[in-house]
Amino acid sequence: MQPTASPLFGPEESSPRTAERTTRAILLINRNARSGKNDVSRVLDRLRDGGLQLQEERIDRPLQVAEVLKRNRDRADLVIIGGGDGTLSMAADALVDARLPLGIIPLGTANDLARTLNLPLDPVAAADVIVAGRQRRIDLGWVNGTHYFNVATIGLGVGVVRRLTRERKQRWGVLAYVFAGAELLAHVRPFAVDIETPTEKIRVRTVQVMVGNGPHFGGGMTVSESAAIDDGLLNLVSLEVEHWWQLLKLLPALWRGREQTTHVRTIVGREFQVTPVKKRRRKVTADGEVSARTPAHFRIAEGALSVFVP
């Protein structure tokens, strides 16, 4: 899907917006994001100089993002969120309901959505992107009633999330994902699931099922080299190994998102159902936050949100 004209600032081919036009913006900064406690005064100055009238809200937990949006959506023309992928994911449902364009100030550990959108990771440069006013419509994933931006997982990824404490992410950054995954390797146990699409049903033994909307997850790993966040499709990837050492061999392929690899099954579609064969219900994470339990129904929410991009 191609970038669309901005409903706020005019066609994207036009010159950057100037200070003569004032637009109301809700600014939400997650103070507990990895870089959330950094001085953001230059970011605020850049946004105000660009003509934005800011209603600033400081939050200390991602759940507050949705609460603030619901209270203020009728008093703003756009939303700016400073935080990481978890903060953005917790706001996804409220953003869809509010129907407001989204500006992103990357302040998290992995910032996978920012990488997908080719946003600068420098906060001031990211503010410049918002001021310029160019928008692009993107898809969202959806699992059991919850929207997400990047990837939802069942299996190994849930254990990684449990080990990703705030302290570890503050200390190690993206390497925290690597260390958490390494700790789990010896405990990897395959489980059986049925994967259903509108046309087929297959049973697999897997250690992790990932359903990606965008290409990136986990600090730069790639769901699929062909995935795009505006192609109207989801990419389901199942890691089908029996022993932990086989996962080590898969790491280079996972980093690059190679689809045709032994022990990696990839299915592309708009809708999936994943159901464990045994009755035990498994947790589902969406962008690093536990959001549901199996059986998990996934679908694409095509063109669900407009975001500011370079």
What average pLDDT does this structure show over 227-242? 89
pLDDT band of 48, cuts 50, 70, 90: very high
Q: Is residue 15 part of a domain?
A: no
pLDDT score of 257? 52
Do 157 and 290 belong together in one domain?
yes
Task: Considering only residues 252 and 297, tell me which one the structure prediction assigns the higher pLDDT.
Answer: 297
Q: How far apart are the first and last CA of the chain?
A: 16
Convert the pLDDT of each residue in 269-294 to its tens digit: 999 999 999 877 888 988 878 888 99
**Residues of the chain with pLDDT > 70: what percent?**
71
pLDDT score of 204? 95
pTM score of the predicted model: 0.79
Do 89 and 204 belong together in one domain?
no
Do 99 and 171 belong together in one domain?
no
Task: Considering only residues 15 and 86, tell me which one the structure prediction assigns the higher pLDDT.
Answer: 86
The number of domains in the chain is: 2
pLDDT band of 18, cuts 50, 70, 90: very low
Q: Which of 106-115, 183-192, 223-232 has the lowest mean pLDDT?
A: 183-192
Q: Which of 12-26, 169-183, 197-211 has the lowest mean pLDDT?
A: 169-183
pLDDT score of 93? 92
Domain that holds residue 65: 23-140
Of 88, 122, 140, the residue at which a domain comes to its end is 140
Long-range CB contacts (within 8 A, 24+) of 198-204 = 198/269, 198/271, 203/277, 204/238, 204/240, 204/265
CATH classification of the domain holding 96: 3.40.50.10330
Average of per-residue pLDDT values in the chain: 79
Q: b/e string for 94-127 if b means 16 or more Cβ within 10 A?
A: bbeebebbbbbbbbbbbbbbbbbbebeeebeebb
pLDDT band of 95, cuts 50, 70, 90: very high
Convert the pLDDT of each residue in 107-124 to its tens digit: 887 788 998 999 999 999
Do 132 and 161 belong together in one domain?
no
pLDDT at 99 over 80: yes
By the 10 Å C-beta count (0-12 exposed, 13-18 middle, 19+ buried), 31 is classed as: middle
Q: Residue 149 is encoded by which pair of tokens? A: 């931006």
pLDDT band of 176, cuts 50, 70, 90: very low
pLDDT at 180 over 80: no
Do 119 and 167 belong together in one domain?
no
* Angle, in degrees to the nearest 10, between helices 41-49 and 123-132: 20
pLDDT score of 39? 72
